[in-house]
A = this chain, B = another copy of it.
Amino acid sequence: MLDIGDLIVVMELAGVFVFGLSGAMLAVRRRLDMFGVLVLAGAAALAGGVARDLLIGAVPPLALSNTNLLAVALASGIVAFFAHGALERIGKPVMVLDAIGLGLFSVASCDKALGAGLGPLPAMLIGVLSAIGGGALRDILVAEVPRVLREEIYAVAALLGAAIVVLGDRLHLPDAPVFVTGAVAAFLLRVVSVWRNWHAPRAPGS
């Protein structure tokens, strides 16, 4: 049977993979060469987790000390390099991959922060920062305003995933269904908001 520690590890690895794909797809679109694709995949895949680990004082960060994370990040770059054509056909691939990573990372990082002894609010913030960090660095590196600022529902979707983890922790619910619910809820809120073209209000008179 799947151990709960394994589940979090699998979610983090899956998040690394999809964020890595999103970075690599963007790099291919910008016609970067193979090494540029790998660097942008690595930055998108690993920066959020590195930020989380620095903020909770877990040094060296998991992304540097655990070979699996690095291998998965490199693999995502290689897959996108060769299969970007197929990936492009699934429609809005950077957005969809990014949304999956958002859900996975907000849950896995919020849980890790709770495990490091942080309170509910700091743990939620670290979940959100970790989920938006990789994508923000990815966009800044190619001189784009990050998605988290341009898009309507983004950080708030990560916040929903992290809030579900904190709520489950408070109510002592079993971890596995809570984690899956949090990740799926964050993903769905993000994707449905794009699909239905939801708008958050702009400042009155701006």
Contact = CB atoms under 8 A, between A and B. Distances in A.
A118 B55 contact: no
Copies of this chain, tallied across the complex: 3
Contact of A32 (B40, B82, B122, B149): B149
B28 A206 contact: yes
A202 interface: yes
Interface stretch (A60-68, A89-97, A172-180): A60-68
Given A60-B56, A65-B118, A122-B60, A33 B201 contact: yes
Interface in A175-194: none
Given A34-B200, A84-B203, 19 more contacts: A31-B202, A32-B149, A33-B152, A33-B200, A33-B202, A35-B153, A54-B54, A54-B55, A57-B60, A60-B118, A64-B125, A65-B118, A65-B119, A65-B122, A70-B121, A84-B205, A141-B145, A141-B146, A143-B143
18 contacts: A27-B149, A32-B149, A32-B202, A34-B203, A35-B153, A35-B155, A36-B149, A36-B150, A37-B203, A39-B155, A40-B149, A65-B119, A67-B121, A70-B125, A84-B205, A85-B205, A141-B146, A143-B144
Interface of A: 27-29, 31-40, 50, 54-57, 59-61, 64-65, 67, 70, 80-82, 84-85, 118-119, 121-122, 125-126, 136, 140-146, 148-150, 152-156, 199-206
